[in-house]
Amino acid sequence: MDRQHVAVLVAVCMALALVPAGVAAAEEPAEAVAAATGPTVDATVTDRYRAGASAGLSRVDTDGVLEQPTRATIYEAIDESPGIDLAGLAAAADVTKSTARYHVDVLRDAGLVAGVEVAGALRFAPAELDAEVAGVLETDAPGTVLTAVADHEPASVRTLAEATDRAPSTVSHHLSELEARGLVERERRGEAVLTSLAPPARDALGAPPATADD
């Protein structure tokens, strides 16, 4: 082998030896970019999570919420029958209770309706109404007792029991629940404990102030 061939062979070997270094050098900037962008993405996700945790879930934009036909039907049913329960909404829209619940949740997130649990059932009312009062009025026994209070306040348990045709112990039980909800107030006067509407219920029902003693 002459010197020229040796020189060519050496040059080829040197070139082959340099290829991995060149490839590594070319890949290094990409790895550096990935290393640099990784923490930035993580920080963005973390910031978004922290913002959501501190501010709470943002309300759904009300624009277009009622354009969905089933949802519009459910909202109309709530508007027409404040205090309606989930079964009633499902029947009104001819859908399953789970579907009705989904649309109600969207309406609640949009701030269009409010819900409250009364006697083990969720009941709903337009946001501008008092959901507690609406829900109670649509529930048989508590609603009957609350209505009797509005009609006879300030009233004793005996008066309310006679007005509702229920046992005094049953009336006392419902009065305790209504008081816990902030819908009635009870005050001892002599030997009797008289019940009147609390301000939220009075405002919601448009009832005049109680003026006569039982």
pLDDT tens-digit map of 180-195: 999 999 998 888 889 9
Whole-model pTM: value is 0.61
- Predicted confidence at residue 201, as pLDDT, reads 86
Task: Give the list of residues 6+ apart from residue 83 with CB closer than 8 angstroms, or none.
Answer: 123, 124, 125, 131, 134, 135, 136, 137, 138, 139
- Predicted confidence at residue 28, as pLDDT, reads 43
Answer whether residue 167 shows pLDDT above 50. yes
Query: What burial class does residue 50 get, using C-beta atoms within 10 Å of its C-beta: 0-12 exposed, 13-18 middle, 19+ buried?
Result: exposed
Answer whether residue 160 shows pLDDT above 60. yes
